Structure formats: C-alpha cells, structure tokens
A and B are shown apart, each in its own frame.
Chain A
Amino acid sequence: MTEAVNLWVLSGIAVMIAGFALRFNPLLVVAAAAGATGLAAGLDPVAIVSAFGKAFNDTRYVSVVWIVLPVIALLERHGLQERARVLIEDMKGATFARLLTGYLLLRQITAALGLTSIAGHAQTVRPLVAPMAEAAADPQDEATREEVKALAAATDNVGLFFGEDVFIAIGSILLMKGFMAQQGIELAPFELSVWAIPTALFAFAIHAFRLWRFQRRRLTR
C-alpha cells in the first residue's frame, strides 16, 4: 500500500466494542458507529444519514421474519409449548442429548439440501425445540434451565451454519464463486460445496459431544 492509510475509519469498530462493553442500547451504538466511521471517511452528516437510510431500506427483507409471530402466538395460546413438553415426557428414551443431537442432524441434513428456512428460532426453536429440550432435561435450578434453552438455540445455529454450505446454490457459495471469478479464478459451486463436508462432520461431532457432556455433568437424568 503506497498511499497513507486512513486508520480513523476504524473508529466505528472502536465505538462498537466500547458501546457494547458499556451496555448502551445496541441500536444507539450501531448508529454512533456509522456516524464515527462516516465522518472519519470525510462524508458529511447528510450523506451518512442517506447512506444508512438507503441500506436500511434495501435490507428490509431481514425483518420480514417477524410476520410468523401471530401464528406462533396462536399456537402457544392453544397450548403448543405444553403439548411439546407432554410429548417428550411420555417418551421413555427421550433424553436431552438425544433430542438435541437428533435436531442437529435434521437441521444439518435439511440445510445441506437447501432447505434452510424450514426451521429457525421463531418458527421452531421457541415453540417446539426449547420446550422439548427443557422437558427432556428437567433442569433443577434456574441457571441450568437458562443454559438448556440457550443450547437449544445454539444447536439450531450450528446445524444451519455447518449444513448450508454443502448445498451448491446457497448465498455464501455464490458469493465465493463470484468473488473468486473477479480475481480470475473460476470455481464450480460443486467444488466449493464438497469441501464444506469435512467441517460439517467435525461440527456435528464436536457439538454432539458437548451436548452429551452437558447432560452427564449438569443434568440428573
């Protein structure tokens, strides 16, 4: 790099870290970070507000997922969480580790087939997986109960992240193919997705082991 590097544009990252550490409202922190980095890059305030507004409008699809809440609420009012608990309590062999390991496998396989949106935190984890995990774990104190629910959410994330890249038409594969093509390296999506398989296997093994160990150390049954 020959020209002088403007390190001040990193001030936004510093604002993010400090803001999160000091527990300010995260929306405020994000807005402040955008302002700091924008000013450091020599943009005027109107340009920064406009750039942020344009990006916000272009990414509205991210917040569409909340339309599932009325359905989840309807199901919960009519006892879905309670029913999920009863179902697990009636099953003899349904332990916490078996349940979440099964969900992990299901999530990885369906994501690898490109079916990433058939499950998720609002659609499946809150109404089904978390109450089932809680029923199977039967936690004896509040701290363990929180950890059980957090692990249910974590299992969904691990399954999704380390399954989806095995599918050839997922966003990240297309991003890699596009970026490498710009750099003069032509890759087929299949070449990229096949190299996601070793990591997918390790992710399953490591996370399943952690679930089993959590059950053995922290749960009574």
Chain B
Amino acid sequence: MIGLEQVYLVAGLCFAAFALLSARDGGNPRRWLNAAFWGLLALSMLAGDRLGDFGNGLLVLALVAIAALGLGRGSGGASVEERSAEAARHGNRLFLLALVIPLTALAGTLAFKHLPALVDAKQVTLVSLSLGVLLALGVGMVWLRPRTLAPLEDGRRLMDAVGWAAILPQMLASLGAVFALAGVGEVVGGLMSGVIPEGSLLAAVIAYGLGMALFTMVMGNAFAAFPVMTAAIGLPLLIHQYHGNPAVVAAIGMLAGFCGTLMTPMAANFNVVPAALLDLKDRNAVVKAQIGTALPLLVVNIALIWFLAF
C-alpha cells in the first residue's frame, strides 16, 4: 500500500539532492552550512523512525544551531531576459504544465478514496501531491528539455530563498506537543475563565471569541486553542449555564480562532513562509495585510455566536 513511507522517501531524496547540490555551489560562501541543514532534513525524512526520540531531538538541535549560525543563499539561475524569451517561445501551454499538480491533487482526492487497498486513505492528499510532482517533472523534462539537474538546481535556489523558515511550521507543531505535555492549555484556560464577570452572557461570549483568537495567536494554531477555550468557557458557561446551541458555539468559535491565525507569525506556514517565497522584505508583511480582514471578521464571529446560539 502506498502511504507516508513512500512520500517520505520522495521528500528525503529531494532534500538529499538539495544538500549535495548546495555542497558543490562554489558561489555560496556558506555552502557547507546549507548542505548540512538540508542533509539533516533528508536524514529525518529517510530514517527518522530509526533514530529514536532522543536521536530526533538531537537532530532538531543541530538544525537549530545551523540556522542560528546563518544559512547562505544559492547562486546562479536564469536571467529575466532568458525567462522572457522562454515565455514567448512556450506561450500559454506553460499553464497546462502548471495545472498538473492541482489536477493530480483533485483526481487523487476523488479517486483514491475508492482504492483503499492501493493508497492509505488517511494520506490521500500527500500521496496525490507527490504523484503530481513526479508527473509534472516527467512531462516537463520531456517537453521543455532542460539540463538533467536543472529542476533540482533551481529548486534548491528557491529552497535557499525560503531558508530556515522551511521547518518553522514543523518546529511550532512540535512546540505545541511540549506545551500540551506541560499542561499550558489548562493553565491559560483557568486564567481566562477567572476574568469573566458573573452572570453576564455577553461578557462570556466576548471572552470566548477573543480568548480563542488570542490563544490561537500564541499557539499559531486554532486546533490547539479549541479544546482549551471550549473546556474553559464554551462548555461550562455558554453551553451548560446559558444553554447555547453547541453546534454554533463550536463551529463559529473555531472560526474566531481562524481570525487569530491570520494575525500571528506563529502560524508560520500561512504567514511567514509566503513572505519568504514571495521575496518580501518585511517578514510580517502578510500578517499586516491580513489584520484588516481578521479584526472585523472576529467582531462578526462574536456577534454571530451571540445572535445565532442563544
């Protein structure tokens, strides 16, 4: 059955290629740091299950140390003139190739659900993504005829542009696990429920919505905030004491948390990674662009809970 194991194999080989190509990039004065960083990530993908928990922990510490020393950026790449000439030559057919990954994701999502013997049903998305990548690379190599290593060389340069931000989402998810182990959620929930004035439904609704957004901003993830805030305020006050509709309280409470996700660099894969991918000078430019939507929408969500649940 095709599942995570095969996906991690593809990812591991891809990072290993980035590492090897970094090592021989004479134009990058920090090439050995880059090679070590992507090499360790390749090791994690290929052999993480055999390293043991402590071994994986040491691997993470090494990644952090390399990132703190500072990664360099890969050199080379096509000029604007070359790319414009290529664009004129290939025309709109380039969009067809660009659609291979989304279309494979779409087809895979629809088809693999019916083939549980072939593809692990829980990993349909990642398997479809990997297949889409391999398919697009295959078609692209045949049609565009680049030098054999060109996609990996240019891909590595893009990877260097993202740099340490590439593993920030994974690091934050791991931090969430340590926070859970230490009981951070319960402490925050206890503090939040302590500040609500007795007998005020409106204050409880506001504390629930705001608390969901704020705790999401701290954790970077509404999934971490939801159990905490619902256990601290949603269930005891809104649902049990004031008899609010539990489906409304839960569903719109989660969406209030999503407003928090839009406003925090902690949600790195949505907010920090695109800033790196788009070469923005300000690391928080995407967060700043989202605050104007997130704040009014948070007010709307709190009002919706107030009107629809009671």
A binding-site residues for B, Cβ under 8 Å: 1, 5-7, 9-10, 12-13, 16, 20, 25-28, 30-31, 33-34, 37-38, 40-41, 43, 46, 48-84, 86-87, 114-119, 121-128, 130, 146-147, 149-154, 156-158, 161-162, 165, 171-172, 175-176, 179-180, 183, 185, 187, 191-193, 195-196, 198-199, 202-203, 206-207, 210
Contact = CB atoms under 8 A, between A and B. Distances in A.
A26 B297 contact: no
Contact of B137 (A55, A71, A172): A71
A111 to B, nearest CB: 12
Interface in B73-123: 77-78, 80, 82-92, 94-95, 97-98, 100-103, 105-106, 109
Nearest to B137: A71
Contacts of B45: 60, 63-64
B192 interface: no
A77 B78 contact: yes
Contacts of B247: 187, 191-192, 195
B278 A165 contact: no
B53 A50 contact: yes
Given A67-B14, A147-B285, A183-B235, A78 B174 contact: no
Contacts of B296: 206
29 contacts: A9-B184, A12-B184, A25-B64, A25-B68, A27-B171, A33-B175, A40-B182, A49-B61, A51-B57, A51-B178, A53-B55, A64-B8, A66-B11, A71-B137, A73-B154, A81-B83, A117-B129, A118-B103, A121-B274, A123-B101, A125-B274, A125-B278, A150-B286, A153-B274, A154-B262, A172-B222, A195-B251, A198-B308, A199-B297
Nearest to B15: A66
Interface stretch (B23-31, B195-203, B223-231): B223-231
Contacts of A122: 277
Interface string B36-77: 000001001100110111111111110110011000000001
Contacts of B4: 61
Contacts of B289: 147, 150-151, 153-154
B175 A77 contact: no
A206 B63 CA distance: 40
Given A149-B278, A161-B261, A74 B137 contact: yes
Nearest to A207: B293
A126 B273 CA distance: 11
Contacts of B48: 57, 60
B152 A70 contact: yes
Nearest to B143: A78
Interface in B164-197: 164-179, 181-184, 187-188, 190
B206 interface: no
A150 B178 CA distance: 32
Contacts of A171: 223
Interface residues on B, range: 35 or more
A24 to B, nearest CB: 8
B241 to A, nearest CB: 14
B179 to A, nearest CB: 6
Nearest to A50: B53
Given A59-B170, A69-B159, A75 B94 contact: yes
A188 B237 CA distance: 22
Nearest to A172: B254
A70 B21 CA distance: 13
A68 B152 CA distance: 10
B129 A67 contact: yes
Residue from B63, B156, B292 whose CB has the most chain A CB atoms within 10 Å: B292
A60 B84 CA distance: 37
Given A69-B155, A74-B137, A115-B106, A49 B58 contact: yes
Given A27-B64, A151-B289, A61 B126 contact: yes
B124 to A, nearest CB: 9
A153 B275 contact: yes
Contact of A82 (B58, B87, B103): B87
Given A34-B175, A43-B182, A73-B151, A195 B109 contact: no
Contacts of B20: none
B288 interface: yes
A56 B169 CA distance: 10
B174 A75 contact: no
A54 to B, nearest CB: 4
Contact of B184 (A1, A37, A76, A199): A37
Nearest to A82: B87
Interface string B232-265: 0001000100000011101110110010011001
B11 A63 contact: yes
Contacts of B41: 63
B164 A31 contact: no
A199 B301 contact: yes
